[in-house]
């Protein structure tokens, strides 16, 4: 449909800015972690916030107050889960995936690649993207809990303390 009623347009013009201001205030109050891309749970919260905002904007069935409460509930739940996972190791294991070593000392780990449903080409692309042209100069490529690939060069690996929480094969 191209047009329903002027009252629908007026509702969007009035509720839209109020909803936008509400989501900005909720995000500011809940802290930076609410929009962080740290793991799958954080991504779900970010998508849910956007979906809720769109619903408040466009659905006549959802009042601004109901939408505002939904935004606050999402932010509070995210804060509670973040607090729990930062204090209880088991909770972190349940909510987030751990890092996975995909390349170790220049060698691709085929079993890890299969388990992560990635290819050697994708790992090589990440290595190239980091400005490295020789896999033998790479100490590690890690699939992080947020889905990104981290490349650690041999020259920058140091004592490898940054890899202490990444399980190694063998």
Per residue in 29-55, pLDDT (tens digit) is 887 777 666 677 777 888 899 999 999
Q: How far apart are CA 123 and CA 119, in angstroms?
A: 7
Weakest-pLDDT range from 28-32, 76-80, 144-148: 28-32
- Sheet with 107-108: list strands edge to edge: 107-108, 100-104, 138-143, 149-153
- Phi/psi class of residue 30: alpha, beta or left (left: φ > 0; alpha: ψ in -120 to 50)? alpha
pLDDT at 93 over 90: no
Residue 161 has what pLDDT? Answer: 93
Q: Strand 138-143 relative to strand 107-108: parallel, antiparallel, unpaired?
A: unpaired
User: How is residue 1 annotated by DSSP?
Assistant: -
pLDDT of residue 150 exceeding 90: yes
User: Which of 20-34, 39-53, 130-144 shows the highest mean pLDDT?
Assistant: 130-144
Q: Would the pLDDT of 117 be above 80?
A: yes
The average confidence (pLDDT) of the chain is 89
pLDDT at site 95:
79
């Amino acid at each position: 449909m191209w047009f329903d009623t002027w009252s629908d347009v007026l509702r969007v013009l009035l509720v839209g800015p109020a909803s936008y201001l509400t989501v900005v205030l909720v995000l500011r109050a809940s802290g930076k972690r609410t929009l962080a891309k740290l793991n799958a749970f954080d991504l779900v919260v970010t998508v849910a916030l956007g979906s809720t905002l769109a619903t408040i904007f466009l659905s006549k069935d959802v009042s601004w107050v109901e939408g505002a409460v939904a935004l606050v509930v999402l932010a509070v739940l995210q804060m509670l889960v973040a607090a729990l996972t930062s204090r209880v190791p088991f909770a972190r294991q349940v909510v987030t995936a751990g890092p996975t070593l995909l390349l170790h000392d220049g060698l691709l780990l085929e079993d890890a690649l299969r388990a992560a449903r990635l290819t050697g080409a994708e790992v090589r692309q990440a290595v190239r993207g980091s400005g490295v042209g020789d896999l033998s100069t790479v100490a590690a490529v890690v699939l992080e809990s947020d889905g990104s690939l981290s490349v650690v060069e041999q020259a920058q690996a140091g004592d490898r303390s940054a890899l202490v929480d990444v399980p190694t094969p063998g």
